């Protein structure tokens, strides 16, 4: 069995769908959460692909981009559609949810800066 580690801040956010899918698939993983943003910048940021998180490490290899990670796990553990059309619908839904998330975050950021 592969060794999985998920790196993200100690908040819900982009890593949360990854956590849900890993749990749903029964995959054991180390949930490494950064509590201190300054520590993240100094100690961990340079070690991460594209200097960003979430990152899923599988057997020592680090992968980034939350939707790519979710799609990878989905394919590996047979959560994708049973044909290309079903897979297309699933991918579209994932992108719809991301569009809603981006809009939601943007609206809240506008409120905080007003």
Angle (nearest 5°) at CA 55 between 50 and 56: 140
Domain identity same for 64 and 38:
yes
Q: What is the pLDDT of residue 94?
A: 86
Q: What is the pLDDT of residue 55?
A: 98
55-58 β-sheet, strand order: 29-34, 4-9, 55-58, 61-64
Q: What is the pLDDT of residue 114?
A: 54
pLDDT, mean over the chain: 90
Whole domain around residue 3: which residue ranges?
A: 1-79
Binning the chain into helix, strand and coil, the percentages to the nearest 5 are 55, 20, 25
Low-confidence ranges of the chain (pLDDT < 50): none
Q: What is the pLDDT of residue 109?
A: 64
Domain identity same for 58 and 111:
no
Domain identity same for 7 and 47:
yes
Q: What is the pLDDT of residue 104?
A: 81
Q: Which two tokens stand for residue 16?
A: 């949360």
Task: Tell me how many domains the chain contains.
Answer: 2
Is 0.95 surpassed by the pTM of this model? no
CATH for 48: 3.40.30.10
Q: What is the pLDDT of residue 113?
A: 57
């Amino acid at each position: 069995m592969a060794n999985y580690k998920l790196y993200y801040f100690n908040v819900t956010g982009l890593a949360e769908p990854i956590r849900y899918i890993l749990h749903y698939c029964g995959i054991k993983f180390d949930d490494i959460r950064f509590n201190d943003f300054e520590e993240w910048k100094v100690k961990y940021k340079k070690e991460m692909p594209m200097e960003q998180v979430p990152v899923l490490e599988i057997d020592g290899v680090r992968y980034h981009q939350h939707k790519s990670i979710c799609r990878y796990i989905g394919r590996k553990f047979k959560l994708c559609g049973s044909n290309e059309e079903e897979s297309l619908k699933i991918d579209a839904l994932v992108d719809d949810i991301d569009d809603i998330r981006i809009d939601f975050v943007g609206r809240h950021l506008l409120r905080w800066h007003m």
